[in-house]
Chain A
Amino acid sequence: MEKIKITLTINDKLREVNVAPNDTLLEVLREKFDLTGSKESCGEGVCGSCTIQMDGKPVRSCLTLALEADGCTIKTVEGLANGDQLSDLQESFINHGAVQCGFCTPGMLISADALLQNNPKPDEKTVRKALAGNICRCTGYAKIVDAVCHAGSPDNQCPDCKTGQ
Chain B
Amino acid sequence: MSDYTIIGKRMPRVDSRAKVMGKARFTADLKLPGMLVGKIKRSPYAHARILNIDTSKAEALPGVKAVVTGKDTEGVKWGVFSYTRDQQFIQMEKARYIGDEVAGVAAVDEETALEALDLIEVEYEELPAVFESMEAMASQTEPIHEDFPNNINVHVNIETGEVDENFKRAHYVREDTFTAPEDSYFMAEPYAVVAKFDYDGCLEVWCPNGGPHMKSKPLSNAFKIPLHQVKIRKIAIGGAFGGRSEICPADYICALLAKKSDKPVKIEFTREENSIATRQGHAMITTHKTGVDKEGRVLARETTCYLDGGAYVSTGPIAVSVPFLSMEQVYRMESVRYNGYSLYTNKPIRGMIRTHGRCFAAGLDTQLDMIAEHLGIDPVEMRLRNVRKPGEYTNTKSLVGSCAMDETIHKAVVTSGFKDKWGKLPPFHGIGMGTNAVQVGFPMGIRGGSQSFIKFNEDGEATVMSGVVDNGQGNDNMLVQIAAEELGLLPEDIHLVSADTETTSSDPGSYSQVSTFVGGQAVQIAAKNCKQKLFEVAAKVLKVKADTLVAKNRLIFVKDTPEKSISIKKVVRISLTNFNSVNAEGGYWPKVDMKREWVSNPYGQMCEAFSFGTTIVEVKVDPETGQVEVLNATACQDVGKALNPLVLEGQFEGSIAMGGQGGMLTEYHEWKDGRCLNPTMLDYKVPLACDMPTIKNIIVESIEPLGPYGAKEAGMSIAMSAAQGYAAAVSNAIGVYMDSFPLTPDKILAAIKEKKSRPQNKES
Indicate yes or no for A touching B, C-beta below 8 A. Answer: yes
Interface set of A (CB-CB < 8 Å, partner B): 30, 34-44, 46-47, 49, 76-78, 80-81, 86, 90, 93-97, 99-106, 109, 127-129, 131-132, 134-145, 159-160, 163-164
Of A78, A129, A163, the residue contacting B10 (CB under 8 A) is: A163
B23 to A37, Cβ gap below 8 A? yes
Extra inter-chain contacts (18) besides given A100-B473, A135-B188, A137-B241, CB under 8 Å:
A37-B21, A43-B270, A47-B681, A77-B20, A77-B21, A78-B23, A80-B20, A86-B17, A90-B21, A102-B18, A138-B472, A138-B473, A140-B656, A140-B692, A141-B689, A163-B10, A163-B12, A163-B646
Task: Provide a sorted-by-A list of 22 A–B residue pairs whose CB atoms are within 8 angstroms.
Answer: A36-B25, A40-B190, A49-B188, A77-B21, A81-B21, A94-B12, A97-B10, A97-B12, A99-B13, A101-B189, A101-B236, A104-B188, A105-B19, A135-B188, A136-B188, A137-B186, A137-B188, A137-B241, A137-B686, A142-B649, A144-B689, A163-B12
Given contacts A36-B29, A37-B21, A43-B270, contact A135 B688 (CB under 8 A): yes
Given A132-B688, A160-B10, decide whether A100 and B654 contact each other with a Cβ distance below 8 A: yes
The one of B13, B25, B29, B681 that contacts A97, using a Cβ cutoff of 8 Å:
B13
- Please report the C-alpha to C-alpha distance between residue A89 and residue B649 in the assembled complex, in whole angstroms: 20
Collect the chain B residues with CB atoms within 8 Å of residue A35's CB: 22
With an 8 A cutoff between CB atoms, is B26 at the interface?
Answer: yes
* A37 with B681: CB separation less than 8 A: no
On chain A, the residues within 8 Å of B23 by CB distance are 37, 78
B686 touches A105 (CB 8 A): no
Q: In the complex, which residues of chain B have a beta carbon less than 8 angstroms from the beta carbon of A143?
A: 649-650, 653
Given A109-B20, A143-B653, A160-B646, check contact A43 B271 (CB 8 Å): yes
Q: Does B695 contact A (CB under 8 A)?
A: yes
8 Å CB interface, B652-689 against A: 652-658, 661, 680-682, 686-689
> B15, B189, B473, B682: which has the most chain A beta carbons within 10 Å?
B189
A contact residues around B647 at 8 Å (CB)? 97
Does B601 belong to the interface (CB within 8 Å)?
no
> How distant is the Cα of A79 from the Cα of B524 in the complex, in angstroms?
39
Known: A37-B22, A139-B653, A141-B692. A44 touches B16 (CB 8 A): no
- Assess the A138–B650 pair: CB atoms within 8 A: yes
| A105 lies within 8 A of B12 (CB) | no
Name the A residues within 8 Å of B473 (CB-CB).
100-101, 138
- When the two chains form their complex, are residues B16 and A94 in contact, meaning their CB atoms are under 8 A apart? yes
**B76 contacts the other chain (CB 8 A):** no
Bound form: Cα–Cα A90–B16 in Å:
9
- Chain B contributes a number of interface residues (CB within 8 A of A) equal to 59
B24 proximal to A (CB < 8 A): yes
Contact B271 A41 (CB under 8 A): yes
B26 near A103: Cβ-Cβ < 8 Å: yes
The answer on a CB contact under 8 Å between A145 and B11 is no
Do residues B237 and A101 form an inter-chain contact, with CB atoms below 8 A?
yes
Does A76 contact B22, Cβ atoms closer than 8 Å? yes
Flag B630-651 by CB within 8 Å of A: 1 or 0 each: 0000000000000000110110
- Quick check: A42 and B21 within 8 Å, CB to CB? no
Which A-chain residue is minimally distant from B477 (CB atoms)? Answer: A97
Contact A39 B21 (CB under 8 A): no
Q: Given the complex of chains A and B, what is the CA–CA distance between A20 and B654 in angstroms?
A: 40
Chain B contact residues, majority secondary structure: loop
Closest to B653 in A: A140
Contact residues, B169-209 vs A (CB, 8 A): 185-190
Q: Which residues of B contact A129 (CB under 8 A)?
A: 689-690
Picked from B12, B18, B189, the residue with its CB within 8 Å of the CB of A103 is: B189
Expressed in whole angstroms, the minimum distance between the Cβ of B431 and any Cβ of chain A is 20
Which residues on A sit within 8 Å (CB–CB) of B474?
100
Report chain B residues within 8 Å CB of A164.
Answer: 10-12
Q: Does B238 contact A101, Cβ atoms closer than 8 Å?
A: yes
* B637 CB → nearest A CB, Å: 14
B residues 391-433 near A (Cβ < 8 Å) are none
CB within 8 Å for A40 and B28 given contacts A86-B21, A102-B236: yes
B188 pairs with A141, CB closer than 8 A: no
- Per the bound structure, the CA–CA distance linking A131 and B691 in Å amounts to 11
Chain A residues with CB under 8 Å of B189's CB are: 39, 41, 101, 103
B239 at the interface (CB under 8 A from A): yes
B327 → chain A closest CB, angstroms: 25
Q: Which 8 A-B pairs have the closest CB atoms?
A: A37-B22, A101-B472, A102-B19, A103-B238, A140-B653, A77-B22, A140-B657, A103-B188
Is B466 part of the contact surface with A, judged by Cβ < 8 Å? no
What CA separation (Å) do A37 and B654 show in the bound complex?
Answer: 23
Inter-chain contact A145/B689, CB cutoff 8 Å = yes
Contacts A95-B12, A100-B472 known; A139 to B650 CB distance under 8 Å?
yes
* Contact residues in A for B270 (Cβ distance below 8 Å): 43
Whether A41 lies near B190 (C-beta < 8 A) is yes
CA distance A139 to B657 in the complex (A): 8
- B21 close to A46 (CB less than 8 A): no
8 A Cβ contacts from B299-326 to A: none
Query: Complex formed: what's the CA distance from A131 to B17 in Å?
Result: 21
CB of A103 within 8 A of CB of B239, answer yes
Give A36 to B185 CA distance when docked, in angstroms: 24
Q: Which residue on A lies nearest to B10, using beta carbons?
A: A163
Q: Determine if B91 is an interface residue (Cβ-Cβ < 8 Å).
A: no
Judged by a CB distance under 8 angstroms, whether B471 is at the interface is yes
Contact B15 A42 (CB under 8 A): no
Whole-angstrom distance from the CB of A145 to the nearest CB of chain B?
Answer: 6
Which A residue's beta carbon lies closest to that of B474?
A: A100
Query: Could you mark each residue 37-55 of chain B with 1 if its beta carbon is under 8 Å from any beta carbon of chain A, else 0?
Result: 0000000000000000000
Q: How far is the CA of A141 from the CA of B654 in the complex (A)?
A: 8
* Chain A residues whose CB sits within 8 angstroms of the CB of B16 once the complex forms: 93-94, 99, 102
In the complex, what residues of A have CB within 8 A of residue B19's CB? 99, 102, 105
Residues of A within 8 Å of B686, CB to CB, are 135, 137
Q: A42-B271, A101-B237 are in contact. Are A78 and B21 (CB under 8 A)?
A: yes
